Structure 1
Amino acid sequence: MPPHPKTWLSVTPAGLFCEPGGFYVDPQRPVDRAVITHGHSDHARPGHERVLATSETLAIMRERMGVERAGQIQQPLRYGEVLHINGVKLWLRPAGHVLGSAQVCLEWQGARAVFSGDYKRRPDPTCAPFELERCDVFVTEATFALPVFHHPPAELEIARLLRSVRLFPERTHVIGCYALGKAQRLIALLRQAGWDAPIPLHGALMRLCRLYQELGVDLGELVPATVQGREKFAGAIVLAPPSEIGERWARRLNDPLPCLASGWMRVRQRARQGGVELPLIVSDHADWPELLATCAEVEAQEIWITHGREDALIHALGLRGIKGRALHLIGMGEEGEEDE
């Protein structure tokens, strides 16, 4: 009988450790050997000796951390390419979260575990779509693991945004969005919807958008959102970090209309508290139905949960005859939508 993954995958202060392989998945502290699912800083930490990830994730890590901090030795791995490490079979599948995001698939002595990282099941023109991998243990996030979270199609939220632009042509729509993944997805969705005007960006978003373009993602014309000549931003759609949409920087634009793109905008109180006039429910994480569907479709004996609303998901899985376990990994969910 194959050994249960709990006998060879353990939770340590540094993160999830594959004992026979001698490596960690998304470790929270510097380690000798790290496998990284994607470039958000709650998963990709600096200071590791050896780093294995997709080539896009490695490029994002170098851009955000600097070459010297993104891993002394960096090894790119293509989706589906198989690697054997001390008898452990390892391969990556797309996670659909951001560019380069991957699920880490592990098999040892006939037992299979999949560490999904963060993921979504919706179409995203800026990254490869999620691919299902059946396994014995599936390790999932639970960011939006409450029944209230049913994300609408992102295209409908973009249509709401464009209707608002037509209704208020004199105002500048300033969209708060996370710099890695969300900003680029919004731009691509706007292009798909026919918005072909140059899109002004806050300086904090420009570097990663340029990197996406260098990696082959077409985002159209992007320009710096300088505050000189505020009248030229009338009717424009400007992207900025969430922390800037109600601050002095945004108020210097032409009659700004604050927007925020996040799965948390399903909770209207969050929008009101943040002074958001136009909440856009656009998430890069799976919602409640998608979490439940994914956990069923992988046909795993157990579901391990890294971070988020563990209790609600464990309860719902139990009603479906699936065993759930909270890993309580420290540091996960500290970047992006989890803390917007």
Structure 2
Amino acid sequence: MSLISVRPEGLYCAQGDFYIDPWRKVETALITHAHSDHARSGSEHYYAIHSSAGILRKRLGQDIDLKPMQYGDKIKLGNTWVSFHSAGHVLGSAQIRVEHKDDVWCISGDYKRCADPTCEPFEVVECDTYITEATFGLPIYRWQSGATTAEQIYRWWQRDLERPSLLFCYSFGKAQRVLAELTQFTDKTVYVHGAVQALTEIYRQVGVNMLPTVPTSQTEKSYRFQGDLVIAPPSGHRSTWMKRFKRPQTAFASGWMAVRGARRRRGYERGFILSDHADWPSLIRTVKETKATTVYVTHGQNDVLSRYLTEQLGINAMPLDTLFEGEVDN
């Protein structure tokens, strides 16, 4: 590696003297998005897309020194030119383009290619070297549209209106996407876990249209949630929080539901395949469209994808080990 290198603190650009999604405290951190494996607290200065500011401040502290960026705007850091480009992953997610002389690198962060009403669509960034994620870097991972999955969720919810319908998914990104996709089918209020409500309000503040929500904590103790949809993070499953729901039907929305047996192992009655990451065809398509001649593959199935890119496409691709671990339920 040259323009970007791996240090104990994270991905480092010596020409610009900054880190991208560092996993330790640094002076200058460029953040691709606000999931906790990419946005860590303690750094002196942060750069991130403006629409992610509310969530970053909630997670890292209201008083962080945050310089908001607009998609496509260029700034000069050291001897480099840097710009942020939409990753289509979650609200405010970005790929980071770094240019030094005639060498252009792009660090993808996490990304997806399918439509999502809660965030800007993915932008292809042509570059010489691309650092791509590979969370779902196996051929078995192929997604339907979010609208199709939302219809499945709606039909499951309506199937049994005598019971509460508890849908578990990540509180940042996935929950808001479900709430937005479901507006095609209903305008009914959805009840949510407190962790979901706090982040959903931030989405509303930047104009994302979603179903109305009420925290479960604001209902009377005698309320039965009969026929209601309730959205909660995975940490709520089989917790004391669940005790107030009598005979609920349960489901989990995640890309991991594409793996046979995953739903049963996790203890849910139903699984819905819905991911905020690129599937296998999208990973390959993206690498091709960047026209990168060198590709580093990180996060997840990096060995499988890098081998495919090398052997099938003739690209100089190799795994890159980082501390990016995927969405953490918090």
Q: Distance in 1 between matches of 2:159 and 2:173?
A: 28
Per-residue CA deviation, residues 171-213 of structure 1 (Å, 9 max, x unaligned), is 211111111111110100111x222111100111111111111
Is 2:229 aligned against 1:234?
no
Structure 2 equivalent of residue 144 of structure 1: 136
Cα offset, 1:90, TM superposition: 0.6
Is 2:53 aligned against 1:58?
yes
Structure 2 equivalent of residue 43 of structure 1: 38
Is 2:91 aligned against 1:99?
yes
Cα offset, 1:141, TM superposition: 0.6
Cα offset, 1:251, TM superposition: 3.9
Q: Distance in 1 between matches of 2:327 and 2:251?
A: 19
Contact 1:174–1:250 (Cα < 8 Å) also in 2: no
**Normalising to structure 1: TM-score of the pair?**
0.92
Cα offset, 1:151, TM superposition: 1.4
Q: Distance in 2 between matches of 1:67 and 1:144?
A: 33
Equivalent position SS for 1:290: helix
Structure 1 equivalent of residue 191 of structure 2: 200
Structure 1 equivalent of residue 20 of structure 2: 25
Per-residue CA deviation, residues 117-145 of structure 1 (Å, 9 max, x unaligned), is 00000111011000001100111110000
Judging changes above 3 Å, is the alpha-carbon distance between structure 1 residues 57 and 166 closer, same or farther for their aligned structure 2 residues?
closer
Q: Distance in 2 between matches of 1:258 and 1:268?
A: 18
Equivalent position SS for 1:64: helix
Contact 2:182–2:211 (Cα < 8 Å) also in 1: no
Cα offset, 1:232, TM superposition: 4.1
Contact 1:246–1:258 (Cα < 8 Å) also in 2: no
Structure 2 equivalent of residue 8 of structure 1: 3
Contact 1:250–1:256 (Cα < 8 Å) also in 2: no
Structure 2 equivalent of residue 247 of structure 1: 239
Cα offset, 1:229, TM superposition: 5.2
Contact 2:255–2:275 (Cα < 8 Å) also in 1: yes
Cα offset, 1:246, TM superposition: 3.1
> Aligned to 2:317, which of 321, 324, 327?
324
Equivalent position SS for 1:91: strand
Equivalent position amino acid for 2:21 in 1? D
Is 2:29 aligned against 1:34?
yes
Equivalent position amino acid for 2:303 in 1? D
Percent identical across equivalent pairs?
Answer: 40
Contact 1:42–1:334 (Cα < 8 Å) also in 2: yes
Contact 1:95–1:120 (Cα < 8 Å) also in 2: yes
Q: Distance in 2 between matches of 1:203 and 1:59?
A: 17
Contact 2:307–2:318 (Cα < 8 Å) also in 1: no
Equivalent pairs counted in the alignment come to 328
> Aligned to 1:224, which of 211, 215, 235?
215
Q: Distance in 2 between matches of 1:335 and 1:263?
A: 12
Q: Distance in 1 between matches of 2:54 and 2:90?
A: 13
Structure 1 equivalent of residue 105 of structure 2: 113
Structure 2 equivalent of residue 210 of structure 1: 201
Q: Distance in 1 between matches of 2:192 and 2:97?
A: 37
Equivalent position amino acid for 1:264 in 2? W
Equivalent position SS for 1:67: coil
> Aligned to 1:291, which of 278, 283, 288?
283
Q: Distance in 2 between matches of 1:160 and 1:334?
A: 25
- Over aligned residues, Cα RMSD in angstroms? 1.6
Equivalent position amino acid for 2:170 in 1? Y
Equivalent position SS for 1:235: coil
Structure 2 equivalent of residue 263 of structure 1: 255
Q: Distance in 1 between matches of 2:51 and 2:146?
A: 24
Cα offset, 1:230, TM superposition: 5.7
Per-residue CA deviation, residues 225-265 of structure 1 (Å, 9 max, x unaligned), is 24645664111111001121333322421421111110001
Per-residue CA deviation, residues 11-55 of structure 1 (Å, 9 max, x unaligned), is 111111111100011111010111000000100000111111111
Structure 1 equivalent of residue 169 of structure 2: 177
Equivalent position amino acid for 1:59 in 2? G
Q: Distance in 2 between matches of 1:166 and 1:27?
A: 44
Contact 2:164–2:246 (Cα < 8 Å) also in 1: yes
Structure 2 equivalent of residue 167 of structure 1: 159
Q: Distance in 1 between matches of 2:83 and 2:261?
A: 42
Structure 1, unaligned runs of 5 or more: 1-5
Contact 1:260–1:280 (Cα < 8 Å) also in 2: yes
Is 2:188 aligned against 1:189?
no
Equivalent position amino acid for 2:49 in 1? T
Q: Distance in 1 between matches of 2:32 and 2:114?
A: 18
